């Protein structure tokens, strides 16, 4: 009876070791999956930038940097190239967003025609024409607050999330 008890104790200890090893291997497999996913991120960001999905590209870049800062992945030397690529892509994204904003602000962007066509569908009245001419000139913050026009653009302008994009990129 005593011998059976010792044998069961050894088997129990061995099962505990095997269980702990399986947990460790699951964790390692999870890290390897994350490494594999993060290694593909720079190409995905470039594809998103080519499709002008800048908001999605910024979100992906920020999430990937956060994944790389995790405790288990900081020590992986093979991810140094991915880290440097993500850092470079951060700058590229910044300048791409600036170019798009510049083009949009000065009516050189692709949203210009959507804005013009939506305005031309409405028949302007004399007060609307005066307001349209006045709105073409840049207003200072003070003038906007007096006129009650504290926002520039709107849902038609195509950049509803610009502040959040810049916040995610540079905070």
Flag whether 119 is in a domain.
yes
What pLDDT was estimated at residue 41?
92
What pLDDT was estimated at residue 133?
42
Greatest mean pLDDT range, 11-15, 30-34, 95-99, 123-127: 95-99
**Residue 139 structural domain:** 40-169
Count H helices and E strands in the chain, helices first. 8, 0
Tell me the whole-structure pTM to 2 decimals: 0.55
Flag whether 94 is in a domain.
yes
Flag whether 33 is in a domain.
no
Backbone angles phi, psi at 6, to 5 degrees: -65, -40
pLDDT band at residue 127 using 50, 70 and 90 as cut-offs: very low
What pLDDT was estimated at residue 162?
57
Q: How many domains does the chain have?
A: 1
What is the token pair recorded at 134?
């006045």
């Amino acid at each position: 009876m005593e011998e059976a008890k010792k044998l069961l104790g050894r088997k129990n200890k061995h099962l505990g070791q095997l269980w702990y090893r399986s947990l460790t291997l699951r964790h390692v497999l999870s890290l390897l999956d994350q490494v594999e996913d993060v290694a593909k991120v720079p190409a995905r960001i470039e594809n998103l930038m080519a499709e002008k999905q800048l908001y999605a590209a910024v979100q992906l870049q920020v999430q990937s940097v956060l994944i790389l800062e995790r405790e288990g992945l900081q020590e992986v030397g093979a991810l140094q190239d991915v880290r440097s690529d993500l850092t470079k892509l951060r700058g590229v994204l910044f300048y791409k967003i600036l170019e798009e904003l510049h083009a949009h602000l000065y009516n050189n962007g692709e949203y210009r025609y959507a804005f013009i066509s939506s305005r031309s569908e409405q028949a302007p009245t004399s007060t609307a024409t005066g307001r349209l001419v006045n709105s073409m000139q840049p207003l200072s913050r003070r003038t906007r607050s007096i006129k009650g026009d504290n926002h520039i653009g709107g849902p038609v302008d195509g950049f509803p999330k610009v502040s959040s994009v810049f916040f995610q990129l540079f905070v």
